[in-house]
Chains A and B, each alone.
Chain A
């Protein structure tokens, strides 16, 4: 395990995880823009997921945030998706953020790592959509139609979420937020 990570989950870490999970629910329920563009809701919760993972530094924090957030969404904003797939749509991005965080040295305040992590994490949601379609018996054109555009939109909005996360993290680091003390305020983050 990286020395930058912590192996313990304290009350503060669990509070951050819970806050991010609630933000995921709020993003789903309240903060949706009245535009019919696939994936736009991800901007906020992907940003929250990345900021939360940077603050907690527990190896599975992103997964836990996704699990808790996805469960809340499945309960309070179920929509037309089976609970399993709803939870998976949040857990998978969390797993990806967890995998990439140590590989990027826990430096999501850097623009490129945050943007690419957000893009990949949000794109994973489309993978769950495909699995959901296959489970529904869709094949061929019915399954794949519009998939590329949807994937590009998810990548774009995920990248935007990552960018927002990086910019917010920089501000928080400069404000010397204790949870982000492991990130140096170098001012040369890329």
Chain B
């Protein structure tokens, strides 16, 4: 008898969980995409904002799949994003992130930013910086700002 009550309770919890998830998901503004949430990536130079991208805007820049450190990463090329922000020349970049999965900060010299350096799109709707010259341990996830020098 007790086992049946527990079975019913577990089934109820599962159904309630799906219902709550569906409720919150469907409450979002119709027609919006995951990218239109609060997450954005800013491109700045000397404290001045050059551009601000949500995920949809980043994906509109283009998509490239590269194989780095044995894994495949897909997202817009960093150089293309910078170009879209109006950056034609730079000497170095500082990539800032949310800092919960890593240090949240990465300095990259211009020589280390190549065509295979991408802002890879993660399942949770944020981007991380990945490229052949960026060791996996130094990647910045949940990128929020790209400071151009």
- Please tell me if B48 contacts chain A, counting CB pairs below 8 Å: no
Whether B100 and A103, one on each chain, are in contact in the complex, defined by CB atoms closer than 8 angstroms, is no
* Chain A proximity mask over B103-130: 1 for CB below 8 Å, otherwise 0: 0000000000000000000111110100
Q: Which residues of A contact B3 (CB under 8 A)?
A: 103-105, 107, 113
Tell me, yes or no, whether B17 is within 8 Å of chain A by CB. Answer: yes
Interface stretch among A61-69, A116-124, A176-184? A116-124
Q: Does B21 contact A (CB under 8 A)?
A: yes
What is the 8 Å Cβ interface bit string for chain B, positions 63-89, against chain A (1 contact, 0 not)?
Answer: 000000000000000000000000000
**Residue of chain A at shortest CB distance from B32:** A141
- Are A155's CB and B142's CB within 8 A? no
Cβ-Cβ contact count across A and B, 8 Å cutoff? 108
Knowing A100-B10, A155-B14, the reply to whether A142 touches B25 (Cβ < 8 A) is no
As a 0/1 sequence over residues 43 to 85 of chain A, the CB contacts with chain B under 8 angstroms (1 = contact) are 0000000000000000000000000000000000000111000
Which residues in B have their C-beta under 8 angstroms from that of A172? none
Nearest to B101 among chain A residues (CB) is A82
- A142 to B122 Cα, complex, angstroms: 12
Q: Report the separation of the CA atoms of residues A158 and B25 in the bound assembly, to the nearest whole angstrom.
A: 22
Query: Which residue of B7, B28, B98 is within 8 Å of A141 (Cβ)?
Result: B28
B11 contacts the other chain (CB 8 A): yes
- Report A's interface with B, CB cutoff 8 A: 38, 80-82, 100, 103-105, 107, 112-113, 116-117, 119-120, 123, 126, 129, 132-133, 135-148, 151-152, 155
- What are the 8 tightest A-B residue pairs by CB atom distance, in nearest-first order? A142-B37, A145-B34, A141-B28, A82-B101, A141-B37, A116-B10, A103-B6, A144-B25
